[in-house]
Structure 1
Amino acid sequence: MLLTGARGCGKSSLVKAVLNEFSADGLRLIEVDKHDLVDLPDIVDLVDGRPEKFIIFCDDLSFEAGETAYKALKSVLDGSVAAPPANVLIYATSNRRHLMPEYMAENLEVQRVGDEIHPGEAVEEKVSLSERFGLWISFYPFSQDDYLAVFAHWARQFGVTETVIAGSEREALNWALSRGSRSGRVAWQFARDLAGRQPEASA
């Protein structure tokens, strides 16, 4: 499964929530850094046949030009010669939908034959990686109302009163504007900052 979209909107948190929900049923998570993807086939072999179910998690995944670690990921996603283990799923999060950079020059390789468009090999190679994930889930930037609702939720969790929450909405919007993003992460950061500025309740 590939979770893509705007930063700070809960892609990684969703994966961790799945682990928290189903860990008692035998779900386990193995987090693999991008630079360790070359070891992915060995990791899959080690957990194959175990009674637990495994999520192999690659957080904030993307590749730059010249990197070759993505080839190991492609091999595991397709199962190579052997079928992929039934107890293993690959989850990845990324801010980039196609995981690899695309350049204008590569689009010059696209050919038009009659009414058909034939992408160049470089474009095909880059798009094919994300296509190997069976499920895509996209995350989009928050609307203003969604952002304020998330801020209010976290502020309540931190013990901020409803009066202070209602009076801090404009400040919450300015906080998001200064960071260039209306997201769950930014809402949480402002709620935490606001809570820290509140006077402690008297005993």
Structure 2
Amino acid sequence: MTDPLDRIAGALERLSPPPPPAADPLAHPAYLWRGNALQPARAFAPLPLAMLIGVERQKTSLVANLRHLADRHAAQDVLLWGARGTGKSALVKSAVAFLQAEGGDIALVEVSELAGLPALFALLGPVDRAFVLFVDDLGFDVPAEARTLRSMLEGGAEPRPAIVRLVVTANRRHLAPRDIAEQESAINPRDSVDDHLALADRFGLSLGFHALDQEGYLAIVAAYAKANDLSFEPGDAIGWATRRGSRSGRVAWQFIVDLAGNAGKPL
């Protein structure tokens, strides 16, 4: 019979398997930074940059800045702020893929925990490649997170590698507290707000995204429909947005998904 200790050890290994081997930082177009380990993104296939409509100024600014990074020139950290569903996250991924298609030596690293940034800087520093560290949908319900990121952006004891820049998306421009409670609990009510403003000021490039008007919304629906060989009635698209209380690229895509499903087509 098998030794009970061997069975117990085997069970523990199944419950807590060893971490996967670290990914080669030169081998993949995009990565995930999870638990202080670099993992390749399984499928990195962003929308073509041309499919992002109504954000031409933002596209131009972000691509130009990331091209500087890919070319090993000075580049800014970036804050993309504004309404939900307006294409902030999609633009980051599409811009990186666009530069990769041009031959740019640049990769995306999606970061979920700010506490792991110093270890990631140490890992990427010696690598001869440019990296966009992507922090999506940033919020500061925990004030310490704001101070952590602020220190990483500027003023830390150990400088970041020149080939690494942060690109952050958030729902508001100044990363202000979501309610008054945080301000009421501070010794000086202004201190809490100043912390968030000081963080936003450390991004050299700040790009705003705003809710679409009806014309812009329909233009996005039309582009998606054309790309997927679908026909639609503008009134149906408007009704879809009205029922959801929002006009955005995300809502436009959800309408297209529903349209394709009803037509019996995959996307």
The two structures have a TM-score, normalised by structure 1, of: 0.82
Instruction: Indicate the SS of the match to 1:86.
Output: coil
For residues 90-142 of structure 1, give each alpha carbon's deviation from its aligned partner in whole angstroms, at most 9, with x where no partner exists: 000111222241544738x9x9xxxxxxx822221121111111110000111
In the aligned structure 2, how far is the partner of 1:40 from the partner of 1:199? 45
Question: Shift in Å at residue 11 of structure 1?
Answer: 0.4
Q: Report the Cα distance in structure 1 between the residues aligned to 2:82 and 2:210, rounded to whole angstroms.
A: 6
Name the structure, 1 or 2, with higher relative contact order (CA <8 Å, separation 6+): 1
For 1:19-168, list aligned pairs within 5 A. Answer: 19-23=96-100, 24-33=103-112, 36-64=113-141, 66-104=142-180, 106=183, 120-161=190-231, 165=232, 168=233
Q: Quick one: structure 1 residues 40 and 199, their matched pair in 2 at CA, closer, same or farther if it must change by over 3 Å?
A: closer
Whole-angstrom distance in 1 between the partners of 2:156 and 2:126 = 17
Q: CA offsets, 1:125-168, max 9 Å, x none? A: 1211111111100001111001011111111122124xxx3xx1
CA distance in 2, matches of 1:181, 1:70: 29
Q: Secondary structure at the match of 2:137?
A: coil
Alpha-carbon distance between aligned partners in 1 of 2:190 and 2:104, rounded to the nearest angstrom = 46
Letter aligned with residue 56 of structure 1: L
User: Which amino acid in structure 2 is aligned with residue 147 of structure 1?
Assistant: Y
Letter in 2 for 1:77: L
Q: 1:15 aligns with which of 80, 92, 103?
A: 92
Supply the distance in 2 between the matched residues of 1:42 and 1:104 (Cα, whole angstroms): 34
* Contact residue 99 and residue 130 of structure 1 kept, 8 A: yes
User: In structure 1, what is the Cα distance between the partners aligned to 2:145 and 2:168?
Assistant: 14
Question: Which residue of structure 2 aligns with residue 114 of structure 1?
Answer: none
Paired position in structure 1 for 2:40: none
AA aligned opposite 2:161: P
Gap runs ≥5 in structure 1:
112-118
> After the TM superposition, which residues 180-191 of structure 1 pair with which residues of structure 2 at under 5 Å, given as runs?
180-191=245-256
Tell whether the 8 Å contact from 1:3 to 1:138 is kept in structure 2 after alignment.
yes
Structure 2: gaps of 5 or more residues: 1-77
Letter in 1 for 2:216: D
| Distance in 2 (alpha carbons) for counterparts of 1:199 and 1:10 | 27
Name the counterpart of 1:115.
none
SS at match of 2:80: strand
Match of 1:179 in 2: 244
- For 2:85, the aligned partner's letter is G
Residues of 1 paired with 2:144 and 2:121: CA distance?
A: 19
Partner SS, residue 28 of structure 1: strand
Runs of 4+ in 1 over 4 A off after TM superposition: 102-105
- The size of the alignment, in residue pairs, is 184
Please give the TM-score of this superposition, normalised by the length of structure 2.
Answer: 0.63
Q: What is the Cα-based RMSD across aligned positions, in Å?
A: 2.3
- One-letter amino acid of the counterpart of residue 88, structure 1: V
